[in-house]
Chain A
Amino acid sequence: MADLVLSGPITATPSRWRSALARGGARLWIGGGLVALLLLIALFAPVIAPHDPAEQDLMSAQLPPAFIRGGEAAFPLGTDSLGRCVLSRLIYSARTAVSVALIASLLAAVIGIALGLIAGAFGGWIDQSVSRLIDVWMAFPPVLLSIVLAAVIGAGLTSVIAAIVVVDWTRFARITRAETQAQLARDYAAAARVLGLTRAQALRLEILPNLVPLIVTLLAVEMGIAILVEVILSFVGISVTGDTASWGGMITEGRQIVYQAPWIMALPIAAVIISVIGFNLFGDGLRAALDPVQRR
């Protein structure tokens, strides 16, 4: 049976990690870098920030950034109308943003994926009811729903998180459901059932791993969205209270004095834009890196 033996070397790809990173390209690096930077800033806020974010110095209110004439070296990015250090407030706001982004999108993902998997895998009336629920849910304008929710539950970080989870689980549920159905229709899913796996085992062992690239990508994008929603909610004043720093709150304050001190409003907007771009690029890069050529 010598002719049965395959000739030619069987070479494993030297490094899957390296090729995955190469597929991700610049998006992955830039996005990953921005996200990492944001996480580090949030984590080490007390170490980096030059001042206490709540410390007021009315004598030096509305100072311009240090590099503009009239600025002071003690306040690198200037001060707001209460004389608080803008840089420190930006840094501490990252904490708020990151914690909302992480917690809210993870919770939304868990709920959405569970419902999506169940709907996709079991079909029938279960699928019908979950799908209709999603349809109805998505008919509401999301930001309005969040505002109403946050207003009803009361202001605070928990209600912001709750509002985001309640609105955004549909995003995960819808896509997980569709992808589960698509994967179940493939031969390998049938092959898995033929091996004697139960439906639950097949879902966990065979289907879920195939959803990972999609879920990771969605998570990254969702974190960007969560940051935006948090900003919107603090802009309308139903997020954290005024003494906790948040980008949305800073924008509100800066709006009133935008002609006298434009940096107070411009800087937090820039911070929001950069972090959302970071998460989106990161998600996009991850999709390219994780989406295997292996899928066919």
Chain B
Amino acid sequence: MSTVLDIDNLHVAIGTANVLRGVSLRVEAGEVRGLVGESGAGKSMVGRTIFGLLPAKAAITAGRVSFEGRDLLAMPDKQRRELLGRRIALIPQDPMTSLNPVRRIGAQICAVLQLHLKLSNRAARDRAAELLSEVAIRDPAGVLALYPHELSGGMRQRVLIAMAFACDPSLVIADEPTTALDVTVQRQVLQLVERMRQRHGAAILFVTHDLGVVAKICRSMTVLHAGRVLEDGLTLDVLVKPHHAYTRALLAATPRADRPADSLRPVPPALIESLWAEAHRLDQLAARRPA
């Protein structure tokens, strides 16, 4: 199995605050890896680093990100742009705001196809309709002519999923794609992502805070806290035999069908505190060491 994405010891700081403290993770070709963590754990920063969308004050202080063996951080902008959208795609978090409000759905999908695959207008249009029917949208031709505000949130998310897989990427980063949706639509969207993955053969890095989602669709998972990887392994192993106390606490705080709801326990504050203390100790150690 070849490695699609290899992040090695990635450090990112915003101003003086460290947000990623040595994150390493690998995504193998065709696999779905979950990236789990609470708010502020740095999940989104990983995605932003890959897409070059870090905030202006953020700096990558150490580490490597390689995609299919090529160093993403070192490559010139032009080469990176050729990869983005074509080989690496994003399913954004909020379907309501991630489509351009004044352009028709068709124009937005065709723009990707024409930019990267150099399709003719006619061919791009046909391909766009095909993609929309792949994500189970009825009347694809009709939807192509609509504006985003004429679609529901679930429909827009389908459109965004179709756009992500438009150029047959080898890696799709799904940034909490179900968070903004109703629970009833969530399941459909998860099934859809899984189906598109099988059809187009892409690997997926699934960023989420929902262990239930991870259990459903991820083969392997990485647990992130305070910008550090606490646990990494096959989903089955991690969920059955978590090594780290934090993972165990997270699992105890997650509702499960085989357990009564009153047994849920919040993650102990003492544990969180000790984790942050450890992270800050590491920061000080790193600061003392000459670079």
Contact = CB atoms under 8 A, between A and B. Distances in A.
Interface of A: 1, 3-6, 10, 12-13, 123, 186-188, 190-198, 201, 205-206, 209-210, 212, 292-296
Given A188-B101, A190-B53, A294 B148 contact: yes
B103 interface: yes
Contacts of A190: 53, 92
B101 A10 contact: no
A209 B148 CA distance: 14
Given A188-B98, A292-B149, A10 B85 contact: no
B143 A196 contact: no
A249 B86 CA distance: 63
A296 B115 CA distance: 27
Interface in B134-150: 136-139, 142-143, 145-150
B146 A12 contact: yes
Contact of B85 (A1, A196, A293): A196
Contact of A196 (B115, B137, B195): B115
A206 B53 CA distance: 17
B82 to A, nearest CB: 7
B145 A194 contact: no
Contact of A1 (B90, B101, B195): B195
A187 B97 contact: yes
Given A12-B142, A194-B51, A210-B102, A186 B115 contact: no
Contacts, number: 106
B90 A206 contact: no
Contact of B155 (A6, A186, A292, A295): A6
A192 B111 CA distance: 10
A196 B191 contact: no
Contact of B149 (A5, A12, A201, A296): A296
A210 B101 CA distance: 8
B15 to A, nearest CB: 17
Given A10-B139, A10-B142, A193-B84, 4 more contacts: A1-B136, A188-B99, A292-B102, A294-B150
B170 to A, nearest CB: 14
21 contacts: A4-B188, A4-B192, A6-B137, A10-B139, A12-B146, A188-B100, A190-B92, A194-B53, A194-B85, A195-B111, A196-B82, A196-B85, A206-B100, A209-B102, A210-B102, A292-B149, A293-B149, A294-B147, A295-B101, A296-B96, A296-B149
A6 B51 contact: no
A205 to B, nearest CB: 6
Given A1-B195, A194-B84, A294 B136 contact: no
A205 B111 contact: yes
